[in-house]
A and B are shown apart, each in its own frame.
Chain A
Amino acid sequence: MIKSKIFIGFTLGQILLLTLFFLLSHASRLPGRDDELQARRELVHRLGLTDFAIWTEARYTRHPSQTDFFSPFQDFPSSLEHFPAGSVIAPVLPSGSDRR
């Protein structure tokens, strides 16, 4: 039964590792991590930042939370969305009121 024991041991090892990862993600609330978070929040607050600096390929992809609904099609009336970021992030449609 050595094969089954090895398999079960290996599987339990992987489950243990995933459990450790889960604990790690919650251990992020430790003081060190909290300080880092606080520093980032302070930065955001001081500079009034609204978005992550991820998609710098176009102006409207840089600030997706600020972008109006039409910018991806801005070049001409039947323009298609052509920046790769458009295929990664979908537009946020606000609940209620007008479309963005």
Chain B
Amino acid sequence: MRGRSQQVPLFAIALAAVGAAIFVLPVAGLLWRASVTDVWRSLSAPAVRTSLWLSLVCSISATSCAIVFGLPLAWIQARLDFPGRALLRGVTMLPIVLPPVVGGVALLFAFGRRGLLGSWLNDYFGVQLPFTTTGAVLAETFVAMPFFVLTAEGALRSVDRRLEDAARTLGAAPWRVFSRVTLPLIRPSLQAGAILCWARALGEFGATITFAGNFPGRTQTVPLAVYLALESDPDAGVVLSFLLLGLSLAVLVGLRRHLWDAL
């Protein structure tokens, strides 16, 4: 091993250092700026606390939606063979690569007051999603759910189907097989997927601001507040950015084993 590592050419190390710097420097910059900020004073500002609380509520709601609707979706994609499955899978993965702003625009055309479903919701139920907290949850769900579906589907595909067969021969009906055998077997992957989904929802900006707007206390989550605060109250912006960074890093480091296995 030692003999091999000595053969790594210097220029590769130099290029790798530049590559790493692209990630490390912004983190260091934020740390440096945060160190000269009165963190506690900024954190106790009501606007900051409001956006933190809203972010927490929205991201947890979005993750719950992703689990409730995403797990059946993942199951159908993993286990059923039907025409158009490849297309469905492509569409459910789309938000991963789609610019979030475009996603927000698309959400407006679907759920906006004159949108495909939105006009109907408005006419018959008087329900309006855009520029509401529910709309923010919807936007975050749209962007973050694919991460849960992707991990859940992968787990459902890799689980040993023969164990499910064995459970059936022991007298377990399909639902019992799923809840007592399949679910416990894929639980680690589901947890990793849910946390990944939650982290993505927490950091969501583009689709939320496009679809739900930027209303403090209603749709202004932490990323939106950061964007606004950079003009009015840079210290608060720095503290919030620092918080988001810390959370994201904690998630990635804490889940490193699950994530690399699941992805």
Q: Do A and B come from one complex?
A: no
